[in-house]
Amino acid sequence: MASSTAKPLVVVVTGTSGAGKGTLEKILLVRMPELELAVSATTRELRPGEVNGREYWFITPEKFERLVEDGDFLEYVDLPWGARSGTLRSEIDRIQARGHVPLLDLETDGALRVQETIPGVVTVFVDAPTFEELERRLRERATESSGEIQVRLDLAHRQQTQKGLFNYAIVNDDVERAAAELIGIVRRELQTAGSMSRP
Ligand code: 5GP
């Protein structure tokens, strides 16, 4: 069993927008209750089905700016369609104080910043099987205007070139298979972190 460690594990799931990382994370959280999602703050609109405090803390741009100025974010991003999202340091502290492992869902630049600054981080890049499939999934979700979908697709092209920079890359070709692969990676990393912390 993983003991409380000098270098606690932090799991970051990143990847192309629309690759389905949210679905994989939901399965991961159910199957590994020792993990807990770090709820980011965002200035974007709440989508149907989302709950404030569950997917995100939905806050105003003014409040977001105050948090930036106060240094409350571990990292944050200004997304090309105008929204700002960031990881609150307090979320990581809260989750670790409960003896849980923080799970972060980040776009690639934020994931790289966390990978460079936090010891004990493991990063997993989730990709769609093909770019056509990614486009289909983004359009199916269709909560964004078509303009925003195009911006997300352009971003996804750039994000795919960053794939090799992360610790692991998995393809979400089949949700159950990809979830099993992700769970396997996190279990192995937890075991390693636990054994390294033992005297
Ligand atoms: P969405 O608006 O579709 O929920 O998320 C858009 C992108 O922002 C996703 O790739 C998601 O992983 C990323 N994201 C969500 N929260 C954060 C955050 O706190 N920091 C960073 N860097 N990216 C985030």
Task: Encode pLDDT of 14-35 as tens digits.
Answer: 998 889 999 999 999 999 999 9
Arithmetic mean of pLDDT, 40-52: 94
Ligand 1 atom nearest to 16, measured from its CA: 10
Q: Is 85 in the pocket of ligand 1 (CB under 6 A)?
A: yes
Q: Measured in angstroms, how far is the CA atom of residue 107 from the centroid of ligand 1?
A: 5
Report how far residue 149's alpha carbon sits from residue 142's, in angstroms, rounded to the nearest whole number.
Answer: 8
Q: What is the pTM of this model?
A: 0.91
CATH among 3.40.50.10470, 3.40.50.300, 3.40.250.10, 3.90.1300.10 for 11-197: 3.40.50.300
Report how far residue 11's alpha carbon sits from residue 154's, in angstroms, rounded to the nearest whole number.
Answer: 26
pLDDT of residue 144: 57
Average pLDDT for the chain: 91
pLDDT digits (tens, 9 = 90+) for 5-14: 456 899 999 9
- The SS3 call for residue 15 is strand
Q: Which residues contact 71 (CB under 8 A, 6 or more apart)?
A: none
Q: Is 144 in the pocket of ligand 1 (CB under 6 A)?
A: no
Q: Is 106 in the pocket of ligand 1 (CB under 6 A)?
A: yes
Q: Is 27 exposed, middle or buried (0-12, 13-18, 19+ CB in 10 A)?
A: middle
Task: Please give the single-letter amino acid code of residue 63.
Answer: K
pLDDT of residue 62: 98
pLDDT digits (tens, 9 = 90+) for 108-160: 999 999 999 998 999 999 999 998 888 888 888 766 556 678 888 888 899 99
pLDDT of residue 5: 44
Quick one: how far is CA 153 from the chain centroid?
Answer: 18
pLDDT of residue 94: 96
pLDDT digits (tens, 9 = 90+) for 59-86: 999 999 999 999 999 999 999 888 999 9
Q: Per-residue confidence at 2, pLDDT binned at 50, 70, 90? A: very low
